[in-house]
Structure 1
Amino acid sequence: MEEPTSVIELLSSSQNSRDQGPNEELAARIAGENDHKAVKELVAHLSDKSKAIQNDCIKVIYEIGERNPKLIANYAPDLLPLLKSKNNRLQWGAMTAIFTISSERPEWVYAALPEILAAAELGSVITKDNAVNTLIRLCTYEAYADNCFDLLNEQILKSPVNQLPMYAERAFTVITAANKSIFVKSLNSRLADIEKESKRQRVEAVLRKIQKHFPDS
């Protein structure tokens, strides 16, 4: 049996597969082999005439990013325009990929925050989730911490109620004595919005956790 001549032949849609198994296997292989040629081909096909191939390519790209972010980091400028794509799968897939490379190219991602947050404002839940994840990661860099925390706090104040507990839990990792008070104030201001008891309890648990870690601040 001949080996496929193109990485595109290994995508789920090219294999007539209805699940993501082939895409995930392909991503694992490319990431493990540090296959730059394959990544270049996947990026080139993000504008393929076939929507199925577009969707498979972005899936493989962000799966590679989760395993080996350095391998896709140089393609960040190719991902950014996809945040405005009418293909929702491309949009949130690109945001997911950008999050994966935020540890490799924090300076580029920080500079791209206006576009990232604009896309989050209009995008799907997954798009919003990964924009928030990106802000949280950037908060771990001293150069960006203050500005990114302010932007993160804005997201907490206006996030959909369904997402609020998860955002609060994830944001806890970047809470400091210096920003604790404003974060607590923001969470307390949202408690009345949360009708579902289990979700409110999750936010209250974060508030208790903050108080435990910063009892005197």
Structure 2
Amino acid sequence: MTVLNRLASQLGRNDEEPNVLLARQLAGESNHDGIAEIIVNLTNKNKKIQHDCIKVAYEAGELNPALISEYAETFIELLKSRDNRIVWGAMTALSAIADMSADTIMKHLEQVIAAMHNGSVITVDRGVLALSKLAAVSRENNNEIFPYLLDHLRNCRSKEVPQHAESTLLAVTSGNIEGFLRVLRGREEQLTESQLKRVKKIYRRLES
């Protein structure tokens, strides 16, 4: 039986619950045939099916990254889509598998960064997380990516600093910690009390 019949749009539903339930089952069973059908239909002519499938893909990937890790290039290609829902969904999927599929994603690093520059808030949030995971994989990756992450933290909106700094923390090493702290301290005056509280929590984590 096709898994498409269980998508929200095919059940006449306007909510995401059927897609989440399907993703949980596919992830729990490590159902490669089922996820392969989902991936194929990311380019279905029916936009509702596309949107359902990207939801299932990234939800399943967050629970079981290995299940979607072989499709990294598919998600990278979807970053070119004109459909914002597909773009941020693809970036969310990439953030789930970034460490596992690092070699593949690094080959397309410029494309990932370009999608962040042109993307929505969610695309940027998930992009920062994906890049941080990539940078944590190896020294070579870190040398290439961490300067971009620091530049992003210098220039992103103040309200984004805490979340993006928390993601970037994954890639902080003994060799780049001073630069990271310098950038955060340079943003302190622009932060609200609650935002600064989150940043100070990062300081404490690094001190411990």
TM-score (norm 1): 0.88
Q: Which letter maps to 2:91?
A: M
Once residues 103 and 206 of structure 1 are traced to their aligned partners in structure 2, the CA distance between those partners, rounded to angstroms, is: 22
Once residues 50 and 172 of structure 1 are traced to their aligned partners in structure 2, the CA distance between those partners, rounded to angstroms, is: 39
Deviations 1:106-153 (A, max 9, x none): 111122211111101111111001111012112222241222222211
Deviations 1:61-115 (A, max 9, x none): 0111112222212222211121121211100000001111112211111222111
Q: Taking structure 1 as reference, are residues 156 and 32 closer, same or farther at Cα in structure 2, changes over 3 Å only? A: same
Residue number in structure 2 paired with 1:172 = 169
Counting only pairs closer than 5 Å after superposition, residues 1-217 of structure 1 correspond to structure 2 as 5-142=1-138, 143-194=140-191, 196-207=192-203, 209-210=205-206, 212-213=207-208
Q: Which letter maps to 2:123?
A: T
Q: Which letter maps to 1:41?
A: E
Q: Percent identity among equivalent residues?
A: 35
- For structure 2, the residue ranges without an aligned partner over 5 or more in a row are none
Query: Does the Cα contact within 8 Å between 2:128 and 2:167 map onto a contact in 1?
Result: no
- Considering fraction of residues, name the structure with more helix: 2
The CA RMSD measured in Å over matched residues stands at: 1.7
> What is the CA distance between 1:208 and its match in structure 2?
5.0
SS of structure 2 residue aligned to 1:66 = helix
My pick for the range that moved more, 9-18 or 35-44, is: 35-44
SS of structure 2 residue aligned to 1:55 = helix
Size of the alignment, in residue pairs? 207
Once residues 179 and 99 of structure 1 are traced to their aligned partners in structure 2, the CA distance between those partners, rounded to angstroms, is: 22
Q: Which runs of 4+ in 1 moved over 6 A?
A: none
Q: Taking structure 1 as reference, are residues 208 and 34 closer, same or farther at Cα in structure 2, changes over 3 Å only? A: closer
Q: Which letter maps to 1:166?
A: Q
SS of structure 1 residue aligned to 2:99 = coil
> What is the CA distance between 1:169 and its match in structure 2?
2.4
My pick for the range that moved more, 6-15 or 153-162, is: 153-162
Query: Does the Cα contact within 8 Å between 2:99 and 2:137 map onto a contact in 1?
Result: no
Q: Which letter maps to 1:64?
A: A
Query: Does the Cα contact within 8 Å between 1:135 and 1:151 map onto a contact in 2?
Result: no
Larger Rg: 1
Query: Does the Cα contact within 8 Å between 1:83 and 1:119 map onto a contact in 2?
Result: yes
